[in-house]
Structures are given as C-alpha cells and as structure tokens.
C-alpha cells in the first residue's frame, strides 16, 4: 500500500482516542481516591470524556464535509491538548473535581474529530483494496491502542502520580499535527464540496438515509453494542481483578492484553483478507457475532477468572472481525461529499457504546449473575440485527445501492 507514512499518522488518531479511556481503566481506583468520588460515580471518569464526544461527532462530521477534514482534525487536536493540561492541573486544586471533569469534557469534544474523521479521510484518499487496507489498518491501530493503553496507564503510575499520565495526550497531539502538516500540506483535500450549497448537501444526506438507512442503522448499532460490551466488561474486569483477586498495578494492566490482543490480531487478519470481497466481509460479520454470542452465553454459567479471560478473549476476537468490515462498508457506502457525516454518525454510535458501557456496568457489577445475563441478551440483539440486515441487503443490492468496494 502506498502512503504508509500517511496511514501511520492517521492511525495515531484512533490511538489518541482509545488512550482517552483505556489508559485510565487500570488507574480508575487511584483517580477515584484522589478526586474523593463515591464508587457509583467512578464510571463518569470515563463517560465525562465519551458523552461529549458522542454528542459532538455528528456536528464534526458535518463541518468536515463543509470545511475540510484536515482543518477540523487539527482544531480537534488543540482541544484535546487544552483539556489534557486542565486534567493535569486539577490535581493541584483544593477541589479538583470541577476542573478535572471540565478537562475531560473538552478532551471528549476534541476526540470527536479523531477516529471518525480519520476513517472519512482514508475513504477520501484511497479506493478499492487500498481503502480496505487503510481502514483495516486504522482498526488495527485502534486495537493496538487498546492493548498498550492499560499497560501504559498502569506503568506510568508506578513512577508518577495519576495526573501526570495525561501528559501523553499533548505529546501525541503534537506528533500528529506535525505529521499532518508534512504529509497533507501539498494535498488539495480541504477544497470542499460547498458549491452546491447547504440545501443540496442536506438533500443528499436525506437521499442516503432514505435509500440505505435500513442497512446503515443496524450496522451502526452492531458496532455500538460491540463497543458497549467491550468497555463495560473491561470496566468490570478492572475492579473484579483488583477487589476479588488483589491483582494491581502492572500485572492488572497486563491481563487486559489477552482480550485486546485477540481483537487486534483478528482485525489484522480480517483486513488482509477482505479486500474488495463483499460476501467475505458479510461472512466475517456473521462469524464475529457468533464468536461474541457463544462466550457471553457461557459466562452466564461459569464465572471463574480463567473462564472469564478465555471467554472475553474469544468474544473480542470476534469483535475484531466485525469492526474492520463495518468500517469499510459504511465508509464505502457514500460519496466523498457526504462521507464525513455518514461516517461520523457511525462514530457517534461507537462512542455512545464506549460512554454508556462503564456507566451501566458500574451499576450491574453489584449482581454478577444478572450482569452476565444482560451481556448475553445484548449479544442476542446483534444476532437479531444481523437477521434484519440479511433481509434488507437483498433489496439494497437489487436496487443497485451497493457499497462500491472496488
């Protein structure tokens, strides 16, 4: 694939977004203690970042369609940098909670312009197999971020106080800004499709969701539910390992590498094999949903730590098959002029899953049996969504509204 350096720069955007929450999971108890938060409010340490992101993502997608992906990405990075400095500074305040939560909110607003716009920009820059490979690479970077983030968070707090872990965000922001300036400065990517006016733009968006909405919305939901389960279970696992088995620090971060590593490996494998083969992509979605449903069903009967790690490793390996295909299908479903908004709506569903997972699992973790049953039910919802898609897909194909993968 050409422009590997550019793909690497774009890949740092999903890593930046993932670090926003995953890096904090192993150190949640430390942050909770420093902020003197009650346990039921601890989920908001993560959700104060992801809820603003989910709200802002559709607006960021619209703005990127009108004013340029590169310009909006750079503005988003400056927001993340500002929010990070606020989080670091909060530790030195007498009442740190307001400044910390405000900083996390600003970080979240900036994160809205990372992964969704990276996918949209990759869709603009590449076509055919290169687009599939680039989008799969972004999901791999996403997975790598999920693998290394807990280890980074746990390792940093061995030597530094919890607030200094937030300095990693400004560092990455500066690296990405330099990379974008270097690799996109001669590209005409920010000459936007404004000639037809806002009215025509809205009309095109309406046509897209009228013709393909019954396919796009279930795909959005599958991605959102998958990430809801991922971050919810990881949130539960962080407390379960520490409070039940008294495993803390680096080794707790290391335990997250098994499920997240499986997700990364399966994403790499999927991205290399899908290419422009639409039918193969649908098969991988089916396999992935099956790999999520069966282990979650098993956890309703067996709760030991080894069974838990095995089941969620298989489960997230299945999610790694699903997400690269969803990225390609959704990004390739529309032209460049609507891509920012359509892909950003997908990003909003993903962010909502990330945001709501820790909140609900912080409530459900009090009754482990019920929590596993609810998780299994959510996986069955994805099975039902897949059945809806299978019926709708035939009509979309018959109407000539395919995904333009080639």
DSSP state letters, 27-66? GHHHHHHHHT--GGGTTHHHHHHHHHHHHHHHHHHHHHHH
- Say whether pLDDT at 215 is over 60: yes
pLDDT (0 to 100) of residue 169: 93
Q: CA-to-CA distance for 1 and 97, rounded, in angstroms?
A: 46
Average pLDDT score over residue span 332-354: 84
Residue 200 lies in a domain: no
Q: What is the mean pLDDT of the chain?
A: 82
- Of 46, 110, 112, whose CA–CA distance to 84 is shortest? 110
User: pLDDT tens-digit profile of 154-163?
Assistant: 777 777 788 8
pLDDT (0 to 100) of residue 288: 94
CB 70 within 8 A of CB 46: no
> Distance from CA of residue 198 to its chain's centroid?
29
Name the packing angle between helices 115-125 and 305-332 (round to 10°): 40
Average pLDDT score over residue span 332-344: 82
172-186, 191-205, 318-332: which has the minimum mean pLDDT? 191-205
Q: pLDDT category, 252, cuts 50, 70, 90?
A: low
For residue 213, what are the CA distances in angstroms to 201, 207, 230, 285?
Answer: 17, 9, 25, 18
57-66, 234-243, 338-347, 372-381: which has the minimum mean pLDDT? 234-243
- Say whether pLDDT at 188 is over 50: no
CB 161 within 8 A of CB 87: no
Q: Name the E strands within 145-252.
A: none
Q: Name the E strands within 32-153.
A: none
Average pLDDT score over residue span 248-277: 75
Residue 351 lies in a domain: yes
Residue 201 lies in a domain: no
Average pLDDT score over residue span 193-216: 75
pLDDT (0 to 100) of residue 298: 92
Residue 199 lies in a domain: no
Residue 158 lies in a domain: yes
User: pLDDT tens-digit profile of 362-386?
Assistant: 888 888 889 999 999 999 999 999 9
φ, ψ of residue 23 in degrees (nearest 5): -65, -25
Domain count, the chain: 1
User: pLDDT tens-digit profile of 12-56?
Assistant: 999 998 888 878 877 777 888 888 876 666 667 877 887 888 889
- For residues 282-305, one letter each, b for 16 or more C-beta atoms within 10 angstroms of the residue's C-beta and e for the rest, the string is bebbbbbbbbbbebbbbbbeeeee
Average pLDDT score over residue span 139-147: 80
- For residues 172-191, one letter each, b for 16 or more C-beta atoms within 10 angstroms of the residue's C-beta and e for the rest, the string is bbeebbebbeebbeeeeeee
Q: Which helix (H) or strand (E) holds 30?
A: helix 28-35
Residue 206: partners with Cβ closer than 8 Å, 6 or more residues away = none
Q: Cβ–Cβ contacts within 10 Å for residue 193, how many?
A: 14
Q: CA-to-CA distance for 335 and 330, rounded, in angstroms?
A: 11
Residue 203 lies in a domain: no
- What DSSP designation does 95 have? S
Name the packing angle between helices 69-90 and 4-22 (round to 10°): 30
- Of 300, 278, 279, whose CA–CA distance to 403 is shortest? 278
Residue 13: partners with Cβ closer than 8 Å, 6 or more residues away = 73, 114, 115, 117, 118, 138, 176
Residue 52 lies in a domain: yes
CATH number of the structural domain spanning residue 177? 1.20.1250.20
Q: CA-to-CA distance for 275 and 260, rounded, in angstroms?
A: 23
Identify the domain containing residue 138 by its residue range.
4-181+208-397
- What DSSP designation does 403 have? -
Residue 189 lies in a domain: no
pLDDT (0 to 100) of residue 107: 94
């Amino acid at each position: 694939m050409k422009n590997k350096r550019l793909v690497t720069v774009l890949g740092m955007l999903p890593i930046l977004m993932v670090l926003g929450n995953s890096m904090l999971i192993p150190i949640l108890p430390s942050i909770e203690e420093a902020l003197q938060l009650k346990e039921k409010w601890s989920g908001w340490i993560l959700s104060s970042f992801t809820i603003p992101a989910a709200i802002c993502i559709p607006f960021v997608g619209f703005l990127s369609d009108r004013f340029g992906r590169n310009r909006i990405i750079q503005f988003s990075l400056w927001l993340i940098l500002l929010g990070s400095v606020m989080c670091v500074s909060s530790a030195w305040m007498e009442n740190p909670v307001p400044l910390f939560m405000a900083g996390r909110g600003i970080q979240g607003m900036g994160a809205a312009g990372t992964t969704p716009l990276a996918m949209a920009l990759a869709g603009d820059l590449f076509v055919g197999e290169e687009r599939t490979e680039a989008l799969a690479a972004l999901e791999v970077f996403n997975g790598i971020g999920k693998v290394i983030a807990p280890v980074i968070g746990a390792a940093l707090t061995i030597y530094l106080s919890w607030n200094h872990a937030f300095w990693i965000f400004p560092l990455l922001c500066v690296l990405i800004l330099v990379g974008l300036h270097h690799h996109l400065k001669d590209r005409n990517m920010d000459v936007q499709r404004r000639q037809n006016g806002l009215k025509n733009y809205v009309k095109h968006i309406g046509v897209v969701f009228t013709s393909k909405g019954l396919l796009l919305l279930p795909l959005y939901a599958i991605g959102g539910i998958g990430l809801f389960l991922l971050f919810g279970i990881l949130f539960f696992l962080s407390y379960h390992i520490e409070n039940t088995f008294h495993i803390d620090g680096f080794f707790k971060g290391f335990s997250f590498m098994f499920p997240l590593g499986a997700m990364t490996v399966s994403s790499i494998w999927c991205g290399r094999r899908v290419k422009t083969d639409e039918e193969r992509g649908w098969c991988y979605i089916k396999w992935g949903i099956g790999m999520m449903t069966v282990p979650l069903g098993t956890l309703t009967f067996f709760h030991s730590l080894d069974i838990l790690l095995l089941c969620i490793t298989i489960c997230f390996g299945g999610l790694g098959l699903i997400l690269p295909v969803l990225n390609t299908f959704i990004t390739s479903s529309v032209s460049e002029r609507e891509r920012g908004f359509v892909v950003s709506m997908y990003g909003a569903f993903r962010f909502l899953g990330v945001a709501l997972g820790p909140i609900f699992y912080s409530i459900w973790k009090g009754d482990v049996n019920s929590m596993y049953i609810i998780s299994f039910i959510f996986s069955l919802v994805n099975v039902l969504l897949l059945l809806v898609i299978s019926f709708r897909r035939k009509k979309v194909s018959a109407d000539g509204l395919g995904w333009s993968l080639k």
